[in-house]
Structure 1
Amino acid sequence: MADTNGTVFDIVVLGGGSGGYATALRGAELGLSVALVEGGKLGGTCLHNGCIPTKALLHAAELADNAREGAHVGVHTTLDRIDMTGVNAYKDGVVARLYKGLQGLVKSRKVTVFEGWGKLVAPDAVEVNGERITGRNIVLGTGSYARSLPGLEIGGRVITSDQALQLDYVPKSVVVLGGGVIGSEFASVWKSFGTDVTIIEALPHLVPNEDLALCKAFERAFRKRGINFNLGVRFAGVTQDDAGVHVSLEDGKTFDAELLLVAVGRGPSTAGLGYEDQGLTLDRGFVITNERLHTGVGNIYAVGDIVPGLQLAHRGFAQGIFVAEEIAGLAPVSILESGIPRVTYSDPEVASVGLTEAKAKEIHGDDAVEVLEYNLGGNGKSQILGTTGFVKLVRQKDGPVIGVHMIGARVGELIGEGQLIVNWEAYPEDVASLVHAHPTQNEALGEAFLALAGKPLHAHN
């Protein structure tokens, strides 16, 4: 086996997705020598098959809706068609520009990139293309893949988000298996493009990890848009032919459509990479770490989607930065999982950070939690945009804010302030004293905190 001419890197990163390249960039910035091993494209799932291309589709969907609905503000337009060749060119152009920028950034930081599929072969070494790359520290960031259900094979008219992003036509009808973030976002896009959409979700609600009030409001909004869904019922099977797919549920219901999108979550990409051979502990394929993201073996760390918890690109970024600083001896503060913001970029958007009302009461007790909802109907900018929804705040009684939850158009852009409030353990009175620009949707947060502090301006006590 060849080696890198005796070179020992300070950090060898296996995987160039959000967590991996963040580790590499921060490590290099701190003066450490870094090797980055990636078999696909730098940027991983988020840049090429996830966050960025799906949000480009959602922006195109928003423009389609605006074209249809302009008459209510006196702008009369018609929507001639959805040109998927043009939509995909726009989407791919966004990805290409970001990819080129990332490549330049990695090069400018003098990170040594090894192209190929790597494998952990020792507590201090990764092998790629027959070459052994040694590091004083190893960081695993091999990402995730689109999961399916046992016995449900992907192929033909049964697709995952990977294939959905490459469609060159607008399907007439789709059954979406899974009502979480991925399923809801694609359902939203396709409905805006004119597709007949039906969602199947085994749990009692869409976006089931969110606060119950948001779940119910989200379902009302989807129902109003004409997106069909079946909740609390399990998938039984699917057959496909030239006409499309024929989907059956355990309760006996059947659905026919052109496509079945399988959106049941993402699994950790850890199989066959030598992790267990080196003594790492895996649970359902996830790499188990301590709060410092150390695996308990040698100087091996893990970041991103392979670590149990939220599978979000910005979590991967934060973990990558954390591990690089940990290796550099900077003793960074551990990342609080509940302090990571979450956004579903559908129409309407759902954004949240911290504890749901139910989780807060489970931890602190029913009598120790106070909640408040502020309706966006009282917000001037929301009236201008024509959006409905609300801000929901969760606090410990006489204590700090521990949850911020929102639903409505563009509320994902507001969650930055929410995550600062939750992570800094701010009290409502602290936030109520801050001045928010008028008219903005951001002002809705200010109004909600005024109300929670007992001095509402445009809301009832």
Structure 2
Amino acid sequence: MAETRTFDVVVLGGGSGGYATALRAAQLGLTVALVEEGKLGGTCLHRGCIPTKALLHAAEVADAARESETFGVRATFDGIDMAALAAYKDGVVAGLYKGLQGLVSARGITLVEGHGKLVSPDTVEVGGERYTGRNVVLATGSYSRTLPGIEIGGRVITSEQALELDYVPRSALVLGGGVIGVEFASVWRSFGADVQVVEALDHLVPAEDLAVSKALERAFRKRGIGFTLGDRFASVAETDSGVRMTLESGKTLDAEVLLVAVGRGPRTAGLGFEEQGVRLDRGFVVVDERLHTGVGNVYATGDIVPGLQLAHRGFAQGIYVAEQIAGLEPAPIDESGIPRVTYSDPEVASVGLTEQAARERFGDDAVETLDYNLAGNGRSKILATQGFVKLVRRKDGPVVGVHLVGARVGELVGEAQLIVNWEAHPEDVAALVHAHPTQNEALGEAHLALAGKPLHAHN
């Protein structure tokens, strides 16, 4: 066996959590080995956030063409050129991938290509070569989960295969009404497909505030996207023309394809974690608030850590772990302050506590909410979008949750996260001057109203 090479940090996995750890650690003067068996950038860059958002932008362009006469523009929608769409999507990914490769190379990080396995608490083995780290960071990411009784293949696909489809399905079933499910449902509907979503829980995007879920359901209904709520998957069979799904209620649904979007599982099996004493819970790596596993100097980041499975969370955790290893003693990350965005039409964005969570934490009498309808916002009127800003605050205290629905509200969550994370009171935000006419102004007006001085309220 070749001699072992030693580094300050060995990172297993080159996705958002892994490459952020590597880049920050190298910036802080530490020697770093980054092990990745696929392409640097992981799920988010190659099979997740970036390519799906490219599809969603194309869907927005399709809708704009279809509805152009509303705005006095004569354009026609003649269909989707899937080859050209794939070239656009792949071009976006390729550009970001090249940039990331350049960053890793410029920082002097040793990139190790191949399948890595933890063979001791401080050593990762890749193809017979051993890389020892004074610190080891596990960042092996996630995979598309399925359910018992569902065989992926043919017309039964996950988001990975959905991104590579070279045709627009005439009809599609989407199993799972969470973020991934509603985003694909939105895209396919914009592209002209008939879409049905099936969600076992009582609402679409069930992790969001109830008012947000109901607003998205109304919008989907208006767009002609069907959905079945509170009914579970029982079985699926391929038919001559596609797939037939049977639910526990006995209801059957037919379509050309079935997208299985029931969440993502942690990629931790067979990597030597448990053999080295790293504790797993349903496949997730158990860590303390400092992302330490309790074994040696082994840390974990990203989708394998229980909590929100978001690229920006993994990225922040990677920076945090690198700074901790370097002795900077950063403050632990507050998960409730991480923003969440669903890029469907309409978009959903939120940060902080839902109304229900706030009432459970602080008590019914200690919570106050306010809804500000975008119908009163000039920019939203111009964009012909509907939706609202919902604020959740502790009575006579700070805003603890901001929930948004409408076109482009993902771009508003930046100010919302500052409000929640800096524990701003409504009057603090009301005193700030928001540009007119912007949708951002709706955040300002909502806080004015919550501070007791609504400008556009009807007496």
Normalising by structure 2, report the TM-score. 0.99
**Aligned partners of 1:176 and 1:262 also within 8 Å:** yes
**Letter of the 1:241 counterpart:** T
Task: Pick from 421, 424, 428 the counterpart of residue 423 of structure 1.
Answer: 421
C-alpha distance in structure 1 between counterparts of 2:399 and 2:31, whole Å: 41
**Letter of the 2:387 counterpart:** G
Range that drifts further, 246-255 or 221-230: 246-255
Partner-residue secondary structure (3-state), 2:9: strand
**Aligned partners of 1:201 and 1:234 also within 8 Å:** yes
Query: CA deviation digits over 1:280-305, x for unaligned, max 9?
Result: 11000000000000000000000000
Query: CA deviation digits over 1:223-268, x for unaligned, max 9?
Result: 0000000000001111003411011111111111110000000000
Task: Pick from 3, 23, 26 the counterpart of residue 24 of structure 2.
Answer: 26
**Letter of the 1:367 counterpart:** D
Task: Pick from 286, 292, 300 the counterpart of residue 302 of structure 1.
Answer: 300
**Letter of the 2:155 counterpart:** R
**Aligned partners of 1:447 and 1:459 also within 8 Å:** no
Gaps of 5+ in 1: none
Q: Displacement of 1:363 after TM fit?
A: 0.4
Q: Give the 5 Å matches for 1:323-362.
A: 323-362=321-360
Task: Pick from 67, 70, 73 the counterpart of residue 75 of structure 1.
Answer: 73
Q: Does 1:386 align with 2:384?
A: yes
Q: Displacement of 1:2 after TM fit?
A: 2.1
What corresponds to 1:3 in structure 2? Answer: 3
C-alpha distance in structure 1 between counterparts of 2:413 and 2:2, whole Å: 49
Partner-residue secondary structure (3-state), 2:307: coil
C-alpha distance in structure 2 between counterparts of 1:126 and 1:459, whole Å: 62
Q: Does 1:282 align with 2:280?
A: yes
C-alpha distance in structure 2 between counterparts of 1:377 and 1:44, whole Å: 40
C-alpha distance in structure 2 between counterparts of 1:310 and 1:457, whole Å: 37
Partner-residue secondary structure (3-state), 2:67: helix
C-alpha distance in structure 1 between counterparts of 2:375 and 2:104, whole Å: 46
C-alpha distance in structure 2 between counterparts of 1:246 and 1:72, whole Å: 38
What corresponds to 2:441 in structure 1? Answer: 443
What corresponds to 1:91 in structure 2? Answer: 89
What corresponds to 1:165 in structure 2? Answer: 163
C-alpha distance in structure 1 between counterparts of 2:311 and 2:244, whole Å: 34
**Letter of the 2:454 counterpart:** P
C-alpha distance in structure 2 between counterparts of 1:118 and 1:268, whole Å: 16
C-alpha distance in structure 2 between counterparts of 1:288 and 1:399, whole Å: 34
C-alpha distance in structure 2 between counterparts of 1:13 and 1:435, whole Å: 45
What corresponds to 2:142 in structure 1? Answer: 144
CA RMSD of aligned residues (A): 0.7
Q: Displacement of 1:460 after TM fit?
A: 4.3
Task: Pick from 353, 367, 373 the counterpart of residue 375 of structure 1.
Answer: 373
Q: Does 1:16 align with 2:14?
A: yes
What corresponds to 2:119 in structure 1? Answer: 121
**Letter of the 1:204 counterpart:** D
Partner-residue secondary structure (3-state), 1:3: coil
**Letter of the 1:432 counterpart:** A
What corresponds to 2:246 in structure 1? Answer: 248
C-alpha distance in structure 2 between counterparts of 1:164 and 1:152, whole Å: 16
What corresponds to 2:258 in structure 1? Answer: 260
What corresponds to 2:108 in structure 1? Answer: 110
What corresponds to 2:41 in structure 1? Answer: 43
Partner-residue secondary structure (3-state), 2:412: helix
Task: Pick from 305, 308, 320 the counterpart of residue 322 of structure 1.
Answer: 320
**Letter of the 1:100 counterpart:** K
**Aligned partners of 1:378 and 1:459 also within 8 Å:** no
What corresponds to 1:238 in structure 2? Answer: 236
Query: CA deviation digits over 1:430-453, x for unaligned, max 9?
Result: 111111100000000000000111
C-alpha distance in structure 2 between counterparts of 1:77 and 1:376, whole Å: 27
**Aligned partners of 1:353 and 1:422 also within 8 Å:** yes
Q: Using the aligned pairs only, state the percent identity.
A: 77
C-alpha distance in structure 1 between counterparts of 2:127 and 2:336, whole Å: 39
**Letter of the 2:44 counterpart:** C
What corresponds to 2:395 in structure 1? Answer: 397
Q: Displacement of 1:73 after TM fit?
A: 1.0
**Aligned partners of 1:237 and 1:247 also within 8 Å:** yes
C-alpha distance in structure 2 between counterparts of 1:352 and 1:79, whole Å: 33
Query: CA deviation digits over 1:95-150, x for unaligned, max 9?
Result: 00000000000001111000001000111100001101000000000000000001
Partner-residue secondary structure (3-state), 2:244: strand
C-alpha distance in structure 1 between counterparts of 2:208 and 2:311, whole Å: 18
C-alpha distance in structure 1 between counterparts of 2:23 and 2:386, whole Å: 41
**Aligned partners of 1:374 and 1:459 also within 8 Å:** no
**Aligned partners of 1:12 and 1:134 also within 8 Å:** yes
Q: Give the 5 Å matches for 1:185-264.
A: 185-264=183-262
